Amino acid sequence: MLPSTLTALDRSTNTLANYRIDVIDSKLDFGDYLSPDAPHAVVIERKKNLRELCGNLLIPHKRRNFVLELERLQERSCFPWLLLEGDIADIDSGPGDNVKNMKARDILLDLLHTHRVSFACMRSSTTKQRAAVGRWVAATILSGVINGDHQCCDGFPRS
């Protein structure tokens, strides 16, 4: 899903540069995507669809686990993100019960605010959309590594 190269802005020089993206497929202690060069800069937790996210929010034991994920993101990352692969319009129009979906939306918003986690929702049902999600994930991490203030989290050294 992630591209092998990416063009991104380096704010220190105000120029675009090409960056090589090396993907290492391994189990992480927290999150789904991060840079091994600056593992505390940007961390992205991914949810594959609205059904998974709603289950994480509405089922009590799953919500406890989800809150723990958000707490780990907040504690261990300067710029934590939650990525939902899907269509945000589904929260109002399905799948399933609209009342439950809206309840899940409001619980999610409260948790994101409480834990200071940024949120993005992107469709990923076509090859073109999956490629766009991959570029966005890579750009988000890369931007945090090359442009971010890695001293934002107590105890995390600037990389």
Q: Is residue 158 part of a domain?
A: no
Residue 152, pLDDT above cutoff 80: no
Structural domain range at position 80: 5-152
3-class DSSP state for residue 45?
strand
Residue 157, pLDDT above cutoff 50: no
Cis before residue 95, ω within 30 degrees of 0?
yes
- What percent of the chain shows pLDDT beyond 90? 38
Q: Is residue 80 part of a domain?
A: yes
Domain count, the chain: 1
Q: Is residue 159 part of a domain?
A: no
* pLDDT 10s digits, 8-20: 888 888 999 888 8
Residue 31, pLDDT above cutoff 60: yes
What is the CATH classification number for the domain harbouring 60? 3.40.50.10130
pTM score of the predicted model: 0.83
- 114's torsion region: left (phi>0), alpha (psi -120 to 50) or beta? alpha
- What percent of the chain shows pLDDT beyond 70? 89
Instruction: Report pLDDT for 59.
Output: 95
Mean pLDDT of 86-113: 81
